[in-house]
Amino acid sequence: MDAELGSRGVETVCQTCEVELDRIAEVAMLTEQDLELLRQPRRRINANIPVRMDDGSVEVFPSFRVQYNDARGPMKGGIRFHPAVDEDEVDELAFLMALKCAVVDIPFGGAKGGVQVDPSALSTGELERLSRAYISEFQDDIGPQTDIPAPDVNTDGQVMAWMRDEYEQVVGRQTPGVITGKPPGLGGSKGRTTATSLGGAEVLDAFLETVDIGGDSPTVAVQGFGNVGSHLTKFLHERGYDVVAVSNADGGLHDASGLAVPALFDEHADTGDLVAAEATEIPNEELLTLDVDVLVPAAIEDQITEENMADIRADAVLEMANGPTTPTADEYLSAHGVPVVPDILANAGGVTVSYFEWVQNTTNEYWTVDRVQEKLRAQMATAFEAVAQVKAEGDGTRSWREAAYTRAVDAVLQAETYRSNIPER
């Protein structure tokens, strides 16, 4: 099947879904009816939201909410603010969220939202008005038992706090479970900030126990030093990994003998800059092609593509960003013996603790950070073991992505069967 090009210059989401699903169709014994059910979201809701700016003018922001599947429970998915957000991207992310919730066995479906905006160009007041306007626009389509948003790229706990407050003003009652990723003082869960990173570290530990890569101190390069990448770097350093390169949007640092991670982390937390005395500055593109044991794309989607896939020299890839490897590049790496631990498993720690937050909001019982992290470790370990078991079934040639997708798709389709939306499988 020839993939058409979307507005981002890569395979569009519906094509991406078809490519991924077609790849596992035989492995997972999917029927054409199964594929038809999974290829498209249940609904797309688009809006052009007007917001009054500080100078009195009005700007209109294209906004999206895609609800992919709710067979397993209320839909769940973040809201991103970014100039490049479009319906294709939100479609793909909603698809991934549906699979992500299923692969770690939390009772949510998948959704995603976005606003086409450069938030760095907004004042605090403009950002608040946009955040509230988004919830006001989509109020009928979200709710704690319907669709539960969360932070994503360029949104944070403060944005979620505004959104929760706006929703409660509309419905006229306290509804903490409508949004996750809130500040702890407003119903957020302890441990949420580092949850994605901790989950990824747990998955990488488990993965490296199954393959002969890296020895006692595997070398790692991390693309992206935002919340996920920075905390993952810190967790991996504490576990004995040798982090030799990191980067952000401005470029990266490389030190073959290992970066001084604690000092790097502290400097970045204080100033937002990447500074390491002995390191060499490198562009992001070069970081992706370093000869390391594990490459960790932890920034944005579509970083390992047809253009650079032949230059990847890492022995394995851990996807901490959403969709950082295109389907074509993923197939190439798999065929050349480079295992890719897929995003729907590797970065699922965040949505898992979002589920914990929703449970705490629903029961009004709040947990310590130690309890949150203990439960997260257990959930990620169980999910990894289940995916590893699926990978080992049959002739044992399934890739990690095929195994994770198979587990996730089977769970979604089983729920659809229980609901009588499809015949007994």
The SS3 call for residue 166 is helix
Q: Which residues are catalytic?
A: 112
Q: Supply the pLDDT for residue 425.
A: 58
How far apart CA 233 and CA 236 sit, in angstroms, is: 5
CA 137 to chain centre: 25
**Residue 216 DSSP symbol:** T
CA–CA distance, 126 with 124 (Å, rounded to integer): 6
H-helix segments, 104-142: 124-138
Helix (H/G/I), strand (E/B), else coil: 365: coil
CATH topology of domain 195-341: Rossmann fold (3.40.50)
3-state DSSP assignment of residue 243:
strand
Q: Are 235 and 201 in contact (CB under 8 A)?
A: yes
Nearest Cα to Cα of residue 245 among 209, 213, 214, 285: 285
In this structure, what token pair is assigned to residue 333?
């790496």
In order of 43, 92, 110, the CA distances from 141 in angstroms are 10, 19, 14
By the 10 Å C-beta count (0-12 exposed, 13-18 middle, 19+ buried), 12 is classed as buried
pLDDT at 420: 80
Sheet of 75-82, strand order: 43-52, 58-69, 109-116, 75-82, 147-151
pLDDT computed for residue 268 by the predictor: 86
Write down the pLDDT at residue 11: 42
Q: Which residue has the tokens 């700016």?
A: 53
Please state, in angstroms and rounded to a whole number, the distance separating the CA atoms of residues 198 and 385.
17
Q: What is the pLDDT of residue 12?
A: 41
Say how far apart CA 83 and CA 210 lie, in whole Å.
40
The tens place of each residue's pLDDT in the chain, 425 residues long, gives: 233 333 333 444 456 667 777 777 777 778 788 887 888 888 999 999 999 999 999 999 999 999 999 999 999 999 999 999 999 889 888 988 999 999 999 999 999 999 999 999 999 999 999 999 999 999 999 999 999 999 988 999 999 999 999 999 999 999 999 999 999 999 999 999 999 999 999 999 999 999 989 888 999 999 999 889 999 999 999 999 999 999 988 888 999 999 989 988 888 888 888 877 677 889 989 999 999 999 999 998 889 999 999 999 999 999 999 889 988 899 999 999 999 999 999 999 999 999 999 999 999 999 999 999 999 999 999 999 999 999 998 677 789 999 999 999 999 999 988 988 766 65
Q: What integer pLDDT is reported at residue 40 of this predicted model?
A: 83
- Could you tell me which residues are beta bridge partners of residue 340? 317
Amino acid identity for residue 206 in this structure: A
In terms of C-beta distances under 8 Å and separation of at least 24 residues, what long-range contacts does 258-265 make, across chains too? 261/233, 261/234, 261/237, 262/234, 262/237, 264/233, 265/230, 265/233, 265/234
**Nearest of 93, 63, 68 to residue 78 by alpha carbon:** 93
Give CA–CA dist 270/265, Å, rounded: 9
For 363, other C-beta atoms within 10 Å of its C-beta total 9
8 A C-beta contact, residue 41 and residue 13: no
Rounded Cα distance, 218 and 196, in Å: 20
Contacts of 60 (CB under 8 A, 6+ apart): 48, 49, 50, 51
Distances in whole angstroms, Cα of residue 150 to Cα of each of 81, 88, 155, 188: 12, 19, 9, 11
CATH class of 43-177: alpha beta
Identify whether the C-beta of residue 221 lies closer than 8 Å to the C-beta of residue 259: no
What per-residue confidence (pLDDT) applies to 118? 97
Q: How many CB atoms lie within 10 A of CB 260?
A: 18
What is the arrangement of strands in the sheet containing 219-223, beginning at the earlier edge strand? Answer: 280-282, 251-254, 242-248, 219-223, 294-297, 316-318, 340-341
Counting DSSP H helices and E strands in the chain, the numbers are 14, 12
Distances (CA, A) of 350 to 21, 235, 346: 24, 15, 10
Domain extents in the chain: 43-177, 195-341
pLDDT of residue 33: 80
CA distances from 336 to 90, 396, 423 (A): 30, 16, 39
Q: Given this model, what pLDDT does residue 29 score?
A: 77
Cα separation, 149 vs 76, in Å, equals 6
Asked whether this chain's domains 43-177 and 195-341 adopt the same fold, the reply is: yes
Strand partners, 78: 150
* CA pair distance 368, 372, nearest whole angstrom: 6
